[in-house]
Amino acid sequence: MKNAGRALFGFMLVLTVVTPGWAQNNGKSKKNDAADLEPTTQVIVRAKNWGSLKDLLPDVGKAGGKVKRQLDLIDSLVVRVPVSALEGLRHNSHVQQIDIDRPVFGAMERTGATVGADVVRQQLGVDGRGVGVAIVDSGVTTWHDDLSQNGAGQRVDTFVDFVNDQTVAYDDYGHGTHVAGIIAGNGYDSSGRRTGIAPAAHLIVLKALDQSGAGTVSDIIAALDYVHANRYALNIRVVNLSIGAGVYQSYLTDPLTVATRRIVEDGIVVVAAAGNAGKDPAGNVRYGGVTAPGNAPWVLTVGASSHMGTPDRSDDTMAAFSSRGPTGFDYGAKPDLVAPGVGIESLSAPKSTLYSSKEQYLLDGTVPTSYKPYLSLTGTSMAAPVVAGTVALMLQANPALTPNLVKAILQYTSERYYGSDSLTQGAGFLNAAGAVQLANLFANPWTKVDSRSWTRRIIWANHAIRGGTLDPSANAWSTDVTWGASRTPAGELISWGKWWSVSCANLSCSSLTWGSSTSPNVVWGLKCGGNDCTGEWRRSTVGSQPLSTDDGDTVVWGNSDTVVWGNDDSDTVVWGNSDEDTVVWGNGCVDSSCAPIIWGTVH
């Protein structure tokens, strides 16, 4: 019953917790024995520590449970257990928490040119060589010319199947192959036109989604366990998760997000899709749809833009389907940035589900092949590997980069497009050329870069900082610092860069910290005068009072952590007040008949 409880489509679905156990007899449902009358469910049982995990094994057996898998990364067991035994297990002295094993789902010639990856490959000679990228997805096709070395041998270093335990590479859904091509396809079947972002990167393909594109949280964590155990042997520096699961708890306790934190602490960049829930079924804009693990601050979360079918960056737009922040439960600012995710042309996998169901989107190459070698797909699942490939280029240029510094560079060098707020586009649109150039600059300090188009901003937790210069030696980039924290584990104020001005003498300006006057609380939104939006960030200087811009569409994160989300034309939404307690969701009416609706508290 490995696939029990899995749904086939969508990001945010309700998981059926109770799955009755039945045996089949001549095509009719029949009770197998007395034990099968008991409904069971698959859960992740997290032990208090490694020692408790060992002691927990016999207790699971006594409760009538069957251990499906051990997840060393988070000291957990995947267990199918009778529902009636859950309460007893929850109170077991060795158990920290129990979570439902939730479902997860699989959420280029113009792309490379649009983000500038082609430029840095040509100018700096970086192509991802030597960098291991783990792709946790539906697998990879047995053979594709674009994953070969000049038509011979595949560049997939490792393939591990967590779904069907097969040893030979395959992709029965087709999603993983498409992702692999975006990251590291070499364009062989298109005479180089559909080259991926980092065509010489080494691929570690971990199959965790089945032929329908569905999997479970435990499948993903098992793949991350493999990454952790083999990170040195395979030089894994990047993990791509073009998947999404519903957010039903804080990122501090969710097994999936906790597992990704362990990987980031290993010094590995985890890139995840934001999700495709930017609109509701009626087509209205929807906020708060970012999926797990993209809701975690340590994950590099990617939304989708559209290159509009051209290599010219100036006509790029946001993709309407791309999930917007804030995150569920924790109200964090996401996504971190956006990248092309509309009509992305990458590799097809013959005989896969997508190959047969998306026939109208299959594309020919420029060389003779027995099948159509390319497929055009859309989604944040396509945007995430564009960033993952960019990270591989950055790490080749500067292997010393930490996950936090990688994210900071990507945000700092991004390019902002006015008309979308920061809960839609994050820090801005991916600028791969700028990101790789700045990464290279930190390794080679006298390198020249052109920063005129950069936003020069980073979003740290719910604060956006603009201006200043990133300092690669600052404590914010340490692997033991959680992105968004106010202090290091040792209690020091977080510093991130330098503030240069004409008054600085001998380059001796002090470090910028999150508590300094140069890092005020931030007004989220555009500073507009009529239709002329300059995109400047303004300080909140009036306590917890909401500030707005001239176009009536401001999002404000003010002093004392007050959050005002909405506009000033009777549609204001307030999350939190000055004591960080009450959550008020209502409108901006000024008479007594329009009282705000208080619906919960922030914990």
Residues designated as active site: 137, 175, 381
- CA 17-23-25 angle, to 5 degrees, is 145
Task: Confirm if 513 and 494 have CB atoms less than 8 A apart.
Answer: yes
Q: Of all helices (H) and strands (E), which one includes residue 118? A: helix 117-124
Please give the span between the terminal C-alpha atoms of the chain, in angstroms, as a whole number.
Answer: 37
Residue whose structure tokens are 């409904």: 39
Q: Which two tokens stand for residue 168?
A: 């030979």
CA-to-CA distance for 190 and 404, rounded, in angstroms?
36
Q: Which two tokens stand for residue 257?
A: 């997000």
Angle between helices 432-443 and 117-124 (to 10 degrees): 30
Of 243, 177, 260, 181, the residue nearest 208 (C-alpha) = 243
Q: Under 8 Å CB-to-CB from 103, ≥6 apart: which residues?
A: 5, 6, 7, 13, 15, 214, 215, 216, 217, 245
Phi, psi of 554 (to 5 degrees): -90, 145
Q: Which two tokens stand for residue 282?
A: 């009626």
CA-to-CA distance for 67 and 54, rounded, in angstroms?
12
Burial class of residue 588, CB neighbours in 10 A (0-12, 13-18, 19+):
middle
Of 39, 49, 54, 48, the residue nearest 86 (C-alpha) = 39
Burial class of residue 340, CB neighbours in 10 A (0-12, 13-18, 19+):
buried
Alpha-carbon 326 to chain mean position = 14
Burial class of residue 469, CB neighbours in 10 A (0-12, 13-18, 19+):
middle
Phi, psi of 317 (to 5 degrees): -135, 165
